[in-house]
Structure 1
Amino acid sequence: MGDDGLYIKIPETSVREANSKAFHYLIKVLLIGDSSVGKSCILMRFCSDEFTPSFIATIGIDFKIRNVDLDGKRAKFQVWDTAGQERFKTITTAYYRSAMGFLLVYDVCDEKSFEDIREWYSNIKEHARDNVEVILVGNKKDMTAERRVSPDQGRALAQELGLPFIEVSAKTAEGVDDAFLTLARNIRDNMGLEAQPINKNTIKISESKSSSGCC
């Protein structure tokens, strides 16, 4: 149960992995966007290298962990998958302040999910820390016959918002790791993260720049 009375699903395997591997960087990331754009599939592909075509809406918040090599240093990703339904927006925005970065996701086959990106970005600007990093992600690029939003449209919106942009496919895994690693490098470089010596008992991630929110 979370601090706000929200149920958070944290698999035991994620807890074991978190405790068994030390790291230099801790990267806290939220996936946000409309329901059914594929946030949960992106999370599963990145953290478990799995994909399922079955759609089950996320209820509140889901959470997974993955340890990766980031330019020769070990980075631990804590990735939070948020519900896209309107009734959960008030709950999920409570987690914005602790995030270091956001994957702002739309479905290239769904024009409305693309049109709603500006509203989601406004939520980030309102609720997240001032120096948070965001990347715009167009999912389902493998579904070429069903595509409704072109790569040029995605790039134009990203340029308007001042964000990096990438198209991915959770189904084929294309671009998924690149999206997370690009975001992690931007967090490391622009938020002033310093790699800490690995210590079995205590690991702290320091930020050289001040921020308006807590970690």
Structure 2
Amino acid sequence: MELSSGEEKPEDYLFKIVLIGDSAVGKSNLLARFARNEFNPNSKSTIGVEFQTQKMEIKGKEVKAQIWDTAGQERFRAVTSAYYRGAVGALVVYDISRRQTFDSIGRWLNELHTHSDMNVVTILVGNKSDLEDAREVSSSEGKSVAEAQGLFFMETSARDSSNVTAAFQTVVKEIYDILTRKVMQSQDFKKPEPGNGKTVVLNPDDKQDVGEAPKTSGCCSS
């Protein structure tokens, strides 16, 4: 987990989130709609590195989401490991009107897991939900894949802005919740037992009954 630096307040966080999926599923328009409330129906494939930083408030804290677009590299299956480096969240996007983009989900998930933390917070996004008449992938299919892979799921439309903000917020809020749980657990583990003057050190070899440590399903190291 990456904390923002400079003169920012200690409670400010910067989370890197990546957009992945086949070409022309609408990744750039999802980012444009979320970050600038824009939509370009004639947008060309992204060329060059592109990312937007969007501020959000989560539980009274300012969080910055740095969202990276694949920069057109996905057309050549050349999304590099550097693109994934440091990512703590991901949107895996397919086009509900093109089944082949849905069939590629497994490949994108494999690539994400190969180049980043296995516990990156991930949401499966069925984009272009406004194209209901041309739908080739049902909502239930998308939901089933997401459940099987342990992902969040949402259908969106960059064109009419349906669920776009909600999809990004779902990822950012989960990342924030995981981080704050880890911080709280770390602080709790370091606290000495009140009144007894000794600190309990937790390690796998401890046989004494010190209570069950909370399980973590974290996305990254803090």
TM-score w.r.t. the length of structure 1 is 0.76
Tell me, in whole angstroms, the C-alpha distance in 1 between the residues paired with 2:52 and 2:155: 22
Tell me, in whole angstroms, the C-alpha distance in 1 between the residues paired with 2:137 and 2:73: 19
Q: Residues 112 and 150 (structure 1 numbering): CA distance in 2 closer, same or farther, change over 3 Å?
A: same
Tell me, in whole angstroms, the C-alpha distance in 2 between the residues paired with 1:156 and 1:102: 18
Which of the residues 9, 13, 22 maps onto 1:25?
A: 13
Alpha carbon RMSD of aligned pairs, Å? Answer: 2.8
- Kept in 1, the 8 Å contact 2:178–2:219? The answer is no
3-state secondary structure, aligned to 2:151: coil
CA deviations over 1:166-199 (Å, ceiling 9, x no partner): 001111111011111110111112244769xxxx
- Kept in 2, the 8 Å contact 1:63–1:78? The answer is yes
Structure 1 residues without counterparts, runs of 5 or longer: 1-18, 196-208
Query: Which AA in structure 2 matches 1:85?
Result: E
Tell me, in whole angstroms, the C-alpha distance in 1 between the residues paired with 2:167 and 2:60: 18
Shift of residue 156 of structure 1?
A: 0.7
Shift of residue 38 of structure 1?
A: 0.2
3-state secondary structure, aligned to 2:87: coil
Structure 2 residues without counterparts, runs of 5 or longer: 1-5, 185-215
Tell me, in whole angstroms, the C-alpha distance in 2 between the residues paired with 1:212 and 1:103: 14
CA deviations over 1:55-106 (Å, ceiling 9, x no partner): 2101243111111222222111111001353425243x32212111000000
1:15-164 pair list within 5 angstroms: 24-82=12-70, 83=72, 85-87=74-76, 89-91=78-80, 93-164=81-152
- Kept in 1, the 8 Å contact 2:120–2:219? The answer is no
3-state secondary structure, aligned to 2:78: helix
Match of 2:192 in 1: none
Tell me, in whole angstroms, the C-alpha distance in 2 between the residues paired with 1:178 and 1:109: 21
Shift of residue 114 of structure 1?
A: 0.3
Pairing 1:172–2:179 present: no
3-state secondary structure, aligned to 1:85: helix
Q: Which has the higher contact order (CA 8 A, sep 6+)?
A: 1
Match of 1:199 in 2: none
Match of 2:187 in 1: none
Aligned length: 184
- Kept in 1, the 8 Å contact 2:29–2:158? The answer is yes
Shift of residue 132 of structure 1?
A: 1.3
Match of 1:204 in 2: none
Q: Residues 171 and 123 (structure 1 numbering): CA distance in 2 closer, same or farther, change over 3 Å?
A: same
Q: Residues 213 and 97 (structure 1 numbering): CA distance in 2 closer, same or farther, change over 3 Å?
A: farther
Q: Residues 95 and 191 (structure 1 numbering): CA distance in 2 closer, same or farther, change over 3 Å?
A: farther
- Kept in 1, the 8 Å contact 2:88–2:219? The answer is no
3-state secondary structure, aligned to 1:106: strand
TM-score w.r.t. the length of structure 2 is 0.74
Q: Residues 213 and 189 (structure 1 numbering): CA distance in 2 closer, same or farther, change over 3 Å?
A: closer
Query: Which AA in structure 1 matches 2:173?
Result: R
* Range moving further from structure 2, 42-51 or 128-137: 128-137
How many percent of aligned residue pairs carry the same amino acid? 38
